[in-house]
Amino acid sequence: MTNCTNSRLQITDFLSLIVSNMEGVLLANKPKGPTSFQIVKLLRRVTGEKKIGHSGTLDPNARGLLILALGKATKSIKYLQELGKGYIAKILLGKLTDTDDISGKIISSKDIKPVSFEKLDGVLDRFIGKIKQVPPRFSAVKVQGRRAYKLAREGKGFVLQEKQIEIGSLRILYYRHPFLKIKIECSKGTYIRALARDIGYTLSSYGTLFELTRYRVGKWTLVDSLTFEELKDRKLIESRILTVSQVLGKSSFREESDLCTRKVYEVL
């Protein structure tokens, strides 16, 4: 019995040493489907590290770069959240949903004729710079201590306050009516669902987010990330963990090279 107990203690000690190595920041490519927290739970199971968090939620219907902090690195999440972000969004014009994306219930529709690229460029220009944005009703914003999405699910009436955000650039990738695909460089706190909604309003119609990919956070892109399947490989994870200082290197959401963009498109 004593030998068995000692063996168990030795195994426990060995595992604790392995877990202690799982400290730092990991870049993951979240697929469409799972929630951001489900990615966290997967990592906890694979690595044995229970202290894991992320620096910015991606909705289940969105995919892209998710920055995860493991171990003591979770203390840096508030700084990781400050990093600028880059998105590619596909917007469906003429439809409004209760969630501001295609996963929600359509609550209004309005026919909209094809719009010229010149007019679209003019509309997008209005959103560049520091602007005020009302978050989606189905969001994690707190209203008198409760999450907005919980109040919305309960059918409660409430008003969300505008928040200041900053958009560095908006560029049309393609427009095939009624779909508009744009590339966005923005600050933390920007709701792309709300941007899609407001672009629709500015066109005297409606807009809802159809697809979303976050391709960049700070200076890091999808090229640097692990796929969902790779996140199941503990040894690979350990070899790809970054330090907090590496991730927090100088960058701006206004700065992005054409070469970086081309590399990102290769994995989209």
- Fill in the DSSP letter of residue 33: S
Write down the catalytic residue from 59, 100, 101, 198. Answer: 59
| Residue 35 contacts residue 235 (beta carbons within 8 Å) | no
How far apart, in Å, are the Cα atoms of 140 and each of 45, 197, 213, 245?
26, 18, 19, 28
Sign of the dihedral defined by the CA atoms of residues 23, 25, 29, 33, in that order: positive
DSSP letters along 114-142, please?
---HHHHHHHHHTTSEEEEEPPPSSSS-E
Backbone angles phi, psi at 20, to 5 degrees: -65, -25
Judge whether 100 counts as a catalytic residue: no
Tokens of 103: 């996963």
How far apart, in Å, are the Cα atoms of 53 and each of 48, 92, 240?
14, 32, 17
Classify residue 253 as exposed, middle or buried by CB count within 10 Å of its CB (0-12, 13-18, 19+): buried
Residue type present at position 172: I
Active site residues: 59
